[in-house]
Amino acid sequence: MKKLLLAALNEPDPTQALPTAVQALLENGEPLNKVQEVLQEVLEELESLDELSDALDQESSDESGLKDFPVERIKATSAGWRGSVIYNPFGGPTPPTLWYGIGIALKIIDLGDQAPAPELWGTELETELRLGGIVLPFRSWRDLDYEYGPVKDVGESSVYISGVHNPIDIERVRTTHIEGASFRIELDLFFAFEFDGSGFRNTRHSMVVEAEFRGVSFCVPQWSDPEEATKLMPLEWNIPTEFNDHTVRAFLERFVDTSEFQLERDGEFFLFSPRQ
């Protein structure tokens, strides 16, 4: 009986396998109270194994010298966010896409005895959170009230600590329009500190910031091999052959209502700021 129940719990979908196993035992004449008793015993054993596994993982981390990052000391001083239209014919490739990104400046963090290598990096941390790759399905910036997650990892989110850019996974983001161009942004984040050897354990942290929406931007790409880039560019992307105020506005109109923005241009950088 015990082996059958354990096998059911180890199936890919135990929520279906377990009731089937219990029903089979009852049909074979096993008393209901006995089945419940053995099932409870099996569940308690599995819980003990999970606790043991967590303890071993913790012990392994302790032996490796990893520190706990003091997430309670993460405090924002300011925040802003905007969208960027990008495309790239190389690699993936990446078709024309509007990604939103959030920049959060942080108060200096006193790591104290949690600093993993004070002789190299000191005990005070001055850094910022850079979060990107967020896709929001709205043409009007005033409609950007939305909950989204998890955000697909496109290598756009990180925090610079211990001389390396540590990846951040955005598990949930919630944007709420307050007034003007100000938004309340709620974030559930996973910090992959162990990815590149920062000296800290991986950890999660939730935070809320108030951020000013700064519009949508486009920067004319500079390719190392322009001819190859043109050759690889799919025709259906319909990329302008020339970038000026008119063509860039028409390009961004695919993603947003450009009448709600005013254009500011600096060379090949186009910023569409929100009209209020």
**Helices 32-64/14-27 angle, 10° precision:** 150
Q: Which two tokens stand for residue 68?
A: 């706990």
Span 197-220, average pLDDT: 96
Q: Which amino acid is at 97?
A: T
Cβ-Cβ contacts under 8 Å for 273 (sequence gap 6 or more): 214, 215, 261, 262, 263, 264
pLDDT in tens, 3-48: 776 676 566 655 566 567 667 766 777 776 776 677 677 666 666 5
- Does 211 score more than 90 pLDDT? yes
Q: 214's torsion region: left (phi>0), alpha (psi -120 to 50) or beta?
A: alpha
Global confidence as pTM: 0.74
Which residue has better confidence, 198 or 19?
198
Quote the CA–CA distance of 46 and 52 in Å, as a whole number: 10
pLDDT in tens, 80-94: 999 999 999 998 899
Q: Which two tokens stand for residue 258?
A: 């450009």
* Mean pLDDT score of the chain: 87
Q: Which two tokens stand for residue 97?
A: 């896409």
Which residue has better confidence, 30 or 245?
245
In the 8-state DSSP scheme, what is residue 107?
P
Q: Which two tokens stand for residue 102?
A: 């959030």
Q: Which two tokens stand for residue 214?
A: 């700064």
Quote the CA–CA distance of 3 and 48 in Å, as a whole number: 17
Residue 26 pLDDT: 66
Residue 56 pLDDT: 46
Q: Exposure pattern of 182-200 as b/e (b: 16+ CB <10 Å)?
A: ebebebbbbbbbbeeebbb
**Helices 2-9/32-64 angle, 10° precision:** 50
Residue 248 pLDDT: 97
- Does 140 score more than 70 pLDDT? yes
pLDDT in tens, 146-164: 898 899 888 889 999 999 9
Residue indicated by tokens 């938004």: 183
- Does 256 score more than 90 pLDDT? yes
Residue 5 pLDDT: 62
The residues pairing with 23 across neighbouring beta strands, listed in sequence order, are none
Quote the CA–CA distance of 21 and 25 in Å, as a whole number: 6
Alpha helices (runs of H) in the chain, residue ranges in sequence order:
2-9, 14-27, 32-64, 118-121, 226-232, 245-252
The residues pairing with 200 across neighbouring beta strands, listed in sequence order, are 67
Strand 76-88, strand 203-219: pairing? parallel
In percent, the amount of the chain with pLDDT more than 90 equals 64
